[in-house]
Homo-oligomer: A and B are copies of this chain.
Amino acid sequence: MNFHGSDIISVNQFDLADVTTLFTLAHRMRGIAKGETKCKLLEGAILGNLFFEASTRSRMSFASAFMRLGGQVNSTTGFAFSSMDKGESLSDAITVIKDYCDALVIRHPQIGAAQEAARYADIPVINAGDGAGEHPTQALLDLFTIFEERKVVNGSTIAFVGDLKFGRTVHSLAKLLTLYQGVNYVCIAPPQVQMPDLLIQEIRSKGFDITLTDDLETGVRSADVVYSTRIQEERFEDKMEFETIKDLCVLNRKIVTEKCKKDVTIMHPLPRTSELSTDLDSMPNAAYFRQSANGVLVRMALFLLLLGRESQLV
């Protein structure tokens, strides 16, 4: 992919070279992200940070990434204060707003919204979540975290735990991992929320091993990385069923200590509820807060690449 001027809509856009380019640059962002090094590469540039749906953390992460590079951020949150509340089409709104900005980040409840926005914007558009669709920078920061934590992906065993049926972040990361060699997938979930068949077939067709289980304790044994996710109550019509299921996927210090490899990396896209016990937080294996911090690095690198400024980095 030629990043300069591109839109980032789906993880399917990326090949191994793209990911390597992005992560090499993201790694170099750490000093700037911590505020230790000043950067003015995006000075004078404006990000349109369009969140038509709730998300404080993603919105702030994108904003900080752009600000750390010297740019400014023009934000909007929700529909209530939007002309779209008056019946305006997304395409019209984007056609207007693109002229105020150098890049757009868009989160929108409807699948396909970011792709639609990209059609009307002659500036880079980043999909920050389009309903049941994708949130590609989340998958990129997840993968980047595996690199930063473990230095290697090839040959790793990655266990996914929780809601693998509806979990957007799981699907995107699972796809990205097929860019590598010899990755083993372990999918730990009750049958009701197991990985979709289509995705399982896609992974298998590319020659990867994928194991399905509903038993957490055996499932995590071989894992180098355990990627935990929240099971959302709103997915279940039967609340009793939800209560039974959610406890099957709880990761805590006891399980990690007794059942996992000693150097296992624990990840989670956050926010968490009870599925990831806080008694893990002080373990060096708990990578989930480093993971969210990595989001700023990956987004910084992406902004530089999309705006064609990465070569100016000293």
Contacts and interface: CB of A to CB of B under 8 A. Distances in A.
Interface of A: 35, 38-39, 43-46, 48, 51, 54-57, 59-61, 63-64, 67-68, 70, 72-74, 76-78, 80-88, 92-93, 95-97, 99-102, 270-273, 289, 292-293, 296
B81 A60 contact: no
Given A64-B46, A67-B72, A100-B61, A83 B271 contact: yes
A100 B60 contact: yes
A54 B85 CA distance: 9
Contacts of A51: 81
Contacts of A88: 270-273
A271 B60 contact: no
B44 A68 contact: yes
Given A54-B83, A67-B74, A92-B272, 18 more contacts: A38-B43, A46-B67, A48-B60, A54-B80, A56-B93, A57-B83, A57-B93, A59-B81, A60-B74, A60-B76, A63-B100, A64-B74, A77-B81, A87-B273, A88-B272, A95-B289, A96-B289, A99-B293
Contacts of A67: 46, 72, 74
Residue of A38, A61, A83, A93 contacting most chain B CB atoms (<10 Å): A83
Contacts of A80: 54, 78
Given A35-B46, A96-B292, A74 B63 contact: yes
A73 B56 CA distance: 14
B39 A44 contact: yes
Contacts of A63: 74, 100
Nearest to A52: B56
Contacts of A96: 57, 270, 289, 292-293
A43 to B, nearest CB: 6
A103 to B, nearest CB: 10
Contacts of A54: 80-83, 85
A125 to B, nearest CB: 16
A82 B102 contact: no
12 contacts: A35-B44, A35-B102, A38-B43, A61-B100, A63-B74, A73-B74, A78-B80, A83-B271, A84-B271, A87-B273, A88-B270, A99-B296
